[in-house]
Each structure stands twice: as C-alpha cells, then as structure tokens.
Amino acid sequence: MNFQKISAELNGIILSAGDYIIAQRKGFYLDKVEVKSMNQLVSYVDINAEKMLVEQLTNLLPEAGFITEENTTDKGQKDYNWIIDPLDGTTNFIHDMPVYSVSVALAKGEEILVGAIYELGRKELFTAWKNGGAWLNGQSIHVSSERNLSQSLLATGFPFYDFEYMEAYISVLKQLLRSTHGLRRMGSAAVDMAYVACGRFEGFFEYGLHAWDIAAGILLVKEAGGQVVDFKGGEDYLFGKTIISGNTEIHKDLLKLIKSEF
C-alpha cells in the first residue's frame, strides 16, 4: 500500500469536506443543533460532512472499514479502517468560534498509517503518512525543541461529560499553571495535537477522548519527532481515552506529574 499516494488523495477529500463546512457556517443558527448527550452537540453539518467523507473514502479504498463519530455508515470495521471526525470542535463551530477542524486517519488495528487534520479558521492542512514525516500546507514540520517545562506552552481539554477524575485533573492544572508559560484550551483535540506537531505547543494531555478525536494527531506528532503515551506511560491511547503528547523532554515531565495524580 502506497501511503504517500493515499495521503495525497486524502488531502483533496478532506479539503472538499472543509470547504463545505466553511460555506455552511454562514447563516448557521443554534436552532439547527441537536443534543446527543450531556454537552455533546451535533448538527446537520457534522452529519453531511461525514457522509461526504465516507463516500469519497470508500471510492479511494473500497476494502477499508470505518470508525466514525456520527455513525452515518453501516460499513463495519475491517483490517484497515478510516477513523473520522467530520467536525472536531462542534461547539466552537456552533458558537462561531474560529477553532474547529476535520480529522481523518487510516489505521490497521491500532497503528495509524495516514492522517490529515484540516483546521478551517486558518485553512491549515496538516498531513502525515507512515515514515513520511509531518507536513503543514506542504512544508515539513517538527515538534518544539524546548527542553524546560517552565518555558513551555501546553494544551489540554476541560472535562465536559466525564467528571470522574475532576479532582486529579484540577490538581494537575494547579501545578502546571505555576510552572509553565501557560495552558490553552482550544476546543479541538485534533488541532491541539497538530499544534504539538508543528511546535506551537510543547505538550498536550486530556482524558475522555475517542479515537476519532486523536487518531490523525497521533501520527502527526510521531512523524514530527514527538512522543505519544497514555496516562500510565503505555500505548493504550487510541482507544484507552487518556493521552499525553509532546516533544521528548516535555512529555516526560507531563507523564511524571499526571502519574502522581491519576
């Protein structure tokens, strides 16, 4: 399988879905929003964008299955699977906040082979394929070279439906607020990881995520020279709902702190 060729084809597909989302934002109103569960929102834009992606990705790789956020396809999982978040940052989109993205990855089991994240506010396309490096709008990108946590800018996501570890999470935040340049909550885990890959953030951590939130970002960070682990320092991050990513040094500091609290 030629991962570079698949990546090139995926770029056009994800850009097309992104253009649809951008066009739909004009004239979008809150009455077009549905509530799936507590603080988990969806609109016709998410659903239609996912249908577009599924159709075009099926044509690109008919033998692949799907893992999707909005469950718009009855095509089950197979040896190879497309993992799709058609609109990561739906709440931002609904409120006309600028950070939201389309995230698509191709995986074999838990190994991510191809990934792309299209951040729509700045029209930045982040891409990667196995052993092919990481790219932003066609330019090679790398994780930050910063070695000191005190000089780092970090990203996270606030718990919004799973509050089981709230106290531990707040304890981690308290310590990082005192020992870093700051923390950012962008509202799109895919964008957070893309920004780690290009060096804007030194690290990112969150719990309660799904595979479609992070699959493409996992590959981007790794191909950009970074590290990805779960909260225990293992490899159960794609489906395990906890993740730490960062450059080689900062991810160690985050892991040490998080393991002491969770």
Q: Each residue of 154-202: pLDDT tens digit?
A: 999 987 667 788 899 999 999 999 999 999 999 999 999 999 999 999 9
CATH 3.40.1190.20 assigned to domain 3-140? The reply is: no
Its pTM stands at: 0.94
Query: What is the percentage of the chain residues whose pLDDT exceeds 90?
Result: 82
Mean of pLDDT over the chain = 93
Query: Which letter does DSSP use for residue 72 in this model?
Result: -
Distance CA 29, CA 52 (A): 22
| Angle at which helices 3-25 and 44-60 cross, to 10° | 160
Distance CA 133, CA 221 (A): 9
Backbone phi, psi, residue 20, to 5° = -60, -45
Amino acid at 75: K
* Residue range 30-34: mean pLDDT, rounded: 68
CATH architecture under which domain 149-261 falls:
3-Layer(aba) Sandwich (3.40)
Q: 3-class SS at 251?
A: helix
Question: Which residues are 42's β-sheet partners?
Answer: 34
Residue 256's alpha-carbon distances to 140, 164, 172, 196, 229, in angstroms, are 30, 20, 11, 19, 12
Tokens in use for 202?
């030194």
Distance CA 100, CA 159 (A): 18
pLDDT category at 39 given cuts 50, 70, 90 is very low
* Digit-coded pLDDT (tens) for 101-144: 999 999 999 999 999 999 999 999 999 999 999 999 999 999 99
The segment(s) of the chain belonging to CATH 3.40.190.80 are 149-261
- Provide the pLDDT for residue 114: 98
Residue 202's alpha-carbon distances to 63, 147, 159, 222, 240, in angstroms, are 37, 9, 21, 13, 22
The backbone region for 233, taken as left when phi is positive above 0, alpha when psi lies in -120 to 50, beta otherwise, is: left
The segment(s) of the chain belonging to CATH 3.30.540.10 are 3-140
Backbone phi, psi, residue 211, to 5° = -60, -40
Distance CA 248, CA 259 (A): 17
